[in-house]
C-alpha cells in the first residue's frame, strides 16, 4: 500500500510538472463564447465532464451521449471539458493538478483497473457507488470482470461506458488484395507479409508515436503473444522479472517490427497514422478499436469493405481490455446531477448511443446488438469467448507511475533500438509495481 501511494505521489508530481510545462488545457472544442458562458454563475448546477475525447476519431460518442442527456435533462447544463491528446496524454496531467487543488470536475474519464484503483481511489478522492448501482439495478448488468476492474476493497467506484479492444490490427483490404496478402496469425507470417508489402513499396505497419503510447501498445501485444495471458499478468504484477528471457524475445520481435513502420512515425499521432492505412500508403495498424470509429465516421470507410481486422499475431483467443469509466469525485458541488449523468451513461440507451460511434462494444451485457455492425458483433463474441487481459498502455494493468516510465523507456528504444537499455529501464520502473 505504501509502495502504491508512493507511486501515486510520484505520478502526481510528474503530472504537475507536465501541466506546468504548459499543455494548453482548454481544448473542449467549444468556441470562446460558449466556454465563457460555461463558466458563469450556474456552475453549481452544471455537470462538468472531463475527458480526452475531443476532435476527429474521439468525440462523436461523447457528443451523442451529451445530446441524449440534454434531451432528458434540459434543466441541467453540461460543460464538456475535454483536453486533447490520445490516451489522456495531456488530460491526465490537467486532471491531476485539479484533483490536487481540490477542484475536481463533476466526473472524469478514467480507465478501470490500476488507473482508477491505485490512483484516485487509493488517494481517497472518489465516492463509492454501491448504492447507485443498487438503486439503478445495475449489479448484474455488467460482466463480473468489469465490475472487478472498477472495484477496490469490495466497493465499486465508477461506471464503465465502453469496452475497447487493444490487440487488433486493422488493414486496408484493397492493399491486401492487390498484393495477395493473407491475414497473418503468427509473428513469422507477419514478417513474411511485411516483406512482401515492403517490396511493393507499401509501408507494412503504420505507427504514430508522437505521443509515445502507441508504441507501448504494440509492445504490450507482443509481450502477450510471447508470454501468454498468465505470465503477461504476472509480469505487470511484479512476479516475473523484466530480464526474463521471454521479455528479451518480445523486445527482439518488437525491434523487427519497427523495421516495417513509416519513417515519420515520431511526428504523427494515432489519427495521422491511421490515415496512412486509409489512403493505402500503409497496409496495417495496431490500434485500439477507437480507430474503427475513426475509419467509419471520419474517413468514411466501410467495415469489411474498405478495412478489415484481425487479432494481433499470436494473441488470438485473448482480448486486451480497455474500459473507459466515469465516477463521482469527492467534494463535487452537485452529486445528484452527476448521478443523473451516470444514470444516462449506464443505461442501455446511453451505451447504444455512445458505443457504435466510438468503435467500442457496450459495457452492459444487455445492449441492443442490432445497433452494432459486423465488427461490433465480432468483438462482442470475442469478448465473451476470450481470455480477458488488462491493457498496460491504457492504464488498467499497472499504476500510472509505472506506465509513465515504460512510455519513456519505449520511446527511447524506438529511436535507439537498444534492447539491453530497455530491459534495464523496465527493471528499474518495476520498483513502482
What distance in Å separates the CA atoms of residue 373 and residue 431, rounded to the nearest whole number?
A: 43
Among 289, 324, 382, 400, binds ligand GAL (CB under 6 A): 324
6-14, 15-23, 83-91, 339-347 -> range binding ligand GAL (CB under 6 A): 83-91
d(CA 154, CA 147): 10
Residues of this chain, 354-393, that bind ligand GAL according to CB under 6 A: none
Distance CA 115, CA 290 (A): 19
- Evaluate whether 373 touches 66 at the Cβ level (below 8 Å): no
When binding is defined by CB under 6 A, the residue of 84, 87, 159, 392 that contacts ligand GAL is 87
Q: How far is the CB of 52 from ligand GAL (least distance, A)?
A: 6
86 binds ligand GAL (CB under 6 A): yes
Of the candidate residues 10, 322, 410, 429, the single one contacting ligand GAL (CB under 6 A): 322
Quick one: which segment of 51-59, 136-144, 167-175, 253-261 binds ligand GAL (CB under 6 A)? Answer: 51-59
Instruction: In angstroms, give the least distance from the CB of 109 to ligand GAL.
Output: 7
Centroid of chain to Cα 84? 14
Question: Longest C-alpha distance within the chain, in Å?
Answer: 63
Q: With CB under 6 A as the contact rule, which of the stretches 84-92, 120-128, 214-222, 405-413 interacts with ligand GAL?
A: 84-92
SS3 49: strand
* Cβ-based nearer residue to ligand GAL, 166 or 225: 166
Number of residues in contact with ligand GAL under rule CB under 6 A: 12
Provide DSSP, 334-368: -HHHHHHHHHHHHSHHHHHHHHHHHTPEESSTT--
Nearer to ligand GAL, 143 or 359 (CB): 359
At its nearest, how many Å lie between ligand GAL and the CB of residue 245?
31
Residue 416 backbone phi and psi in degrees, to 5: -90, -25
Q: How far is the CB of 86 from ligand GAL (least distance, A)?
A: 4
When the beta carbons of 394 and 405 are compared against ligand GAL, the nearer one is 394
CA distance 249 to 227: 10
Q: Is 4 in the site for ligand GAL (CB under 6 A)?
A: no
How far apart, in whole angstroms, are the C-alpha atoms of residue 106 and residue 65? 16
Stretch that binds ligand GAL, among 72-80, 85-93, 298-306, 416-424 (CB under 6 A): 85-93
* C-alpha 157: how far from chain center: 18
Q: Does 220 bind ligand GAL (CB under 6 A)?
A: no
**Least separation in angstroms between CB 253 and ligand GAL:** 24
250 near 223, Cβ under 8 Å?
Answer: yes
Pick from 144, 168, 150, 110: which is nearest to 319 by CA?
168
Nearer to ligand GAL, 12 or 51 (CB): 51
* Among 290, 307, 309, 312, interactor with ligand GAL by CB under 6 A: 290
Q: How far apart are CA 373 and CA 304, in angstroms?
A: 10
Q: Number of C-alpha atoms within 13 angstroms, CB side, residue 54?
A: 20
- Using CB under 6 A as the binding rule, whether residue 92 contacts ligand GAL is answered as no
Of 372, 370, 347, 350, nearest to 361 (Cα)?
Answer: 372
Query: x/- site string to ligand GAL, residues 139 to 178, per CB under 6 A?
Result: -------------------------x--------------
**Mask of contacts with ligand GAL, 389-428, x by CB under 6 A?**
-----x----------------------------------
Q: What is the 3-state secondary structure (H, E, C) of 170-212?
A: EEEHHHHHHCCCCCCCCHHHHHHHHHHHHHCCCEEEECCCCCC
- For residue 309, what are the β-bridge partners? 170
Closest approach of ligand GAL to the CB of residue 59, in Å: 9
The minimum distance between CB 429 and ligand GAL, in angstroms, equals 19
Helical segments of 28-59, H only: 32-38
CB of 164 to ligand GAL, least distance (A): 6
Which CB atom, from 58 or from 432, has the smaller least distance to ligand GAL? 58
Residue 62 in the binding site for ligand GAL (CB under 6 A): no
Which range, of 52-60, 242-250, 275-283, 366-374, touches ligand GAL by CB under 6 A?
52-60
Distance CA 72, CA 78 (A): 12
Residues near ligand GAL (CB under 6 A) are 52-53, 58, 86-88, 164, 288, 290, 322, 324, 394
Amino acid at each position: 500500500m505504501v509502495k502504491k501511494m508512493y507511486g501515486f505521489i510520484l505520478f502526481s508530481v510528474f503530472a504537475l510538472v507536465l501541466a506546468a510545462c504548459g499543455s494548453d488545457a482548454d481544448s473542449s472544442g467549444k468556441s470562446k463564447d460558449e466556454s465563457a458562458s460555461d463558466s458563469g454563475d450556474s456552475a453549481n448546477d452544471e455537470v462538468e465532464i472531463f475527458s480526452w475525447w475531443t476532435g476527429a476519431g474521439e468525440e462523436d460518442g461523447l457528443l451523442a451521449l451529451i445530446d441524449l442527456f440534454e434531451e432528458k435533462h434540459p434543466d441541467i447544463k453540461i460543460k464538456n471539458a475535454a483536453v486533447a491528446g490520445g490516451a489522456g496524454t495531456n488530460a491526465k496531467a490537467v486532471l491531476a493538478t485539479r484533483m490536487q487543488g481540490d477542484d475536481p470536475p463533476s466526473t472524469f474519464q478514467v480507465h478501470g483497473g490500476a488507473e482508477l484503483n491505485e490512483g484516485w481511489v487509493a488517494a481517497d478522492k472518489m465516492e463509492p457507488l454501491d448504492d447507485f448501482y443498487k438503486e439503478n439495478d445495475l449489479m448484474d448488468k455488467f460482466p463480473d470482470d468489469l465490475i472487478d476492474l472498477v472495484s477496490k476493497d469490495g466497493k465499486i467506484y465508477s461506471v464503465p461506458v465502453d469496452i475497447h479492444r487493444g490487440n487488433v490490427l486493422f488493414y486496408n483490404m484493397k492493399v491486401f488484395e492487390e498484393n495477395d496478402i493473407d491475414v497473418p496469425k503468427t509473428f513469422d507470417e507477419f514478417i513474411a507479409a511485411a516483406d512482401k508489402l515492403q517490396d511493393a513499396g507499401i509501408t507494412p505497419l503504420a505507427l504514430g508515436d508522437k505521443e509515445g503510447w502507441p508504441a507501448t501498445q504494440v509492445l504490450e501485444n507482443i509481450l502477450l503473444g510471447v508470454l501468454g495471458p498468465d505470465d503477461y499478468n504476472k509480469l505487470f504484477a511484479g512476479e516475473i522479472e523484466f530480464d526474463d528471457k521471454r521479455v528479451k524475445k518480445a523486445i527482439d520481435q518488437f525491434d523487427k517490427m519497427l523495421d516495417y513502420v513509416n519513417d515519420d512515425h515520431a511526428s504523427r499521432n494515432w489519427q495521422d497514422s491511421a490515415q496512412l492505412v486509409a489512403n493505402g500508403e500503409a497496409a496495417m495498424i495496431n490500434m485500439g478499436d477507437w480507430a474503427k470509429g475513426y475509419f467509419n465516421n471520419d474517413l468514411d470507410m466501410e467495415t469489411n469493405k474498405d478495412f478489415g481486422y484481425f487479432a494481433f499475431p499470436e494473441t488470438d483467443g485473448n482480448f486486451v481490455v480497455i474500459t473507459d469509466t466515469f465516477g463521482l469525485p469527492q467534494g463535487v458541488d452537485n452529486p445528484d446531477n452527476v448521478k443523473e449523468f451516470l444514470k444516462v451513461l449506464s443505461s442501455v440507451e446511453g451505451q447504444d448511443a455512445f458505443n457504435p460511434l466510438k468503435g467500442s462494444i457496450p459495457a452492459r451485457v444487455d445492449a441492443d446488438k442490432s445497433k452494432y455492425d459486423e465488427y461490433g458483433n465480432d468483438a462482442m463474441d470475442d469478448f465473451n469467448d476470450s481470455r480477458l487481459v488488462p491493457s498496460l498502455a491504457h492504464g488498467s494493468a499497472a499504476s500510472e507511475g509505472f506506465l509513465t516510465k515504460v512510455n519513456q523507456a519505449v520511446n527511447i528504444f524506438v529511436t535507439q533500438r537498444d534492447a539491453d537499455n530497455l530491459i534495464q529501464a523496465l527493471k528499474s520502473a518495476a520498483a513502482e509495481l
